Structure 1
Amino acid sequence: MQRELFPTSPNKGEQARRKLLLAALKKIGDKGYENASVRDIADEAGQNVAAIAYYFGNKEKLYAAVLEGVGGYLGSVFGTIAEETRAKLQSGSLDPAEAVEVLKLMLRTLLGEQLGDGEFQKIRLVMIREQSSPSESFDLLYNKTLKPLHQLFTTVLGVATGEDPESPATILRAHALFGQVLAFVVARTTILRRLGVKELTSDHLATIATILDEHLGLICPGLKGAMP
Structure 2
Amino acid sequence: MPPRRAPARAGKHEPRVRGAADGDATRQRLIEVALDHFGRRGFEATSTRTIAQQARANISAILYHFGGKHGLYIAVAEHIADFIGSRVAPLRIQIEAALANGSVDADGAVRLVEAAVARMTALMAEPQTEAFARFIVREQQEPTEAFAVIYDRVMGVMLPLLRHLVAIATHDDPASETAGVRTITIVGQLLVFRVARAAVLRQMAWQEVGPSQVQAITAIVQRSARAMLLTARAENTT
Above 0.5 in TM-score? yes
Equivalent residue letter for 2:72: L
Question: What residue in structure 2 maps to residue 46 of structure 1?
Answer: 56
Question: What residue in structure 1 maps to residue 24 of structure 2?
Answer: 14
Equivalent residue letter for 1:154: R
Would the aligned equivalents of 2:139 and 2:146 in 1 still touch at CA under 8 Å? no
5+ unaligned residues in a row in structure 1: which ranges? 1-8
Q: CA deviation at 1:10?
A: 7.6
Q: Which has the larger radius of gyration?
A: 2
Inter-partner Cα distance in structure 2 for 1:169 and 1:217: 16
Equivalent residue letter for 1:76: S
Q: CA deviation at 1:79?
A: 0.5
Q: CA deviation at 1:197?
A: 3.1
Aligned length: 219
Give the TM-score of the pair, scaled to structure 2: 0.87
State the 4+ residue runs in structure 1 displaced beyond 6 angstroms.
Answer: none
Q: Deviations over 1:10-33 (max 9, x none)?
A: 811111111111111111111111
Matched, 1:181 2:190: yes
Q: CA deviation at 1:70?
A: 1.1
Question: What residue in structure 2 maps to residue 198 of structure 1?
Answer: 207
Alignment of 1:1-228 (within 5 A): 11-117=21-127, 119-227=128-236, 228=238
SS in 1 for 2:43: coil
Equivalent residue letter for 1:64: I
Inter-partner Cα distance in structure 1 for 2:33 and 2:208: 25
Q: Deviations over 1:34-92 (max 9, x none)?
A: 11111121122111111100111111111111111211111111101111111110111
Inter-partner Cα distance in structure 2 for 1:189 and 1:33: 24
Inter-partner Cα distance in structure 1 for 2:182 and 2:66: 39
Q: Deviations over 1:120-163 (max 9, x none)?
A: 23312112211122223221111222111111111111111111
Q: Deviations over 1:145-189 (max 9, x none)?
A: 211111111111111111111122211221111000111112222
Inter-partner Cα distance in structure 2 for 1:112 and 1:88: 22
Would the aligned equivalents of 2:36 and 2:131 in 1 still touch at CA under 8 Å? yes
The alignment yields a C-alpha RMSD, in angstroms, of 1.7
Equivalent residue letter for 1:139: A
* Identity across matched positions, percent: 27
Inter-partner Cα distance in structure 2 for 1:18 and 1:171: 37
5+ unaligned residues in a row in structure 2: which ranges? 1-18
SS in 2 for 1:33: helix
Inter-partner Cα distance in structure 2 for 1:200 and 1:137: 28
Q: CA deviation at 1:201?
A: 3.8
Inter-partner Cα distance in structure 2 for 1:37 and 1:190: 30
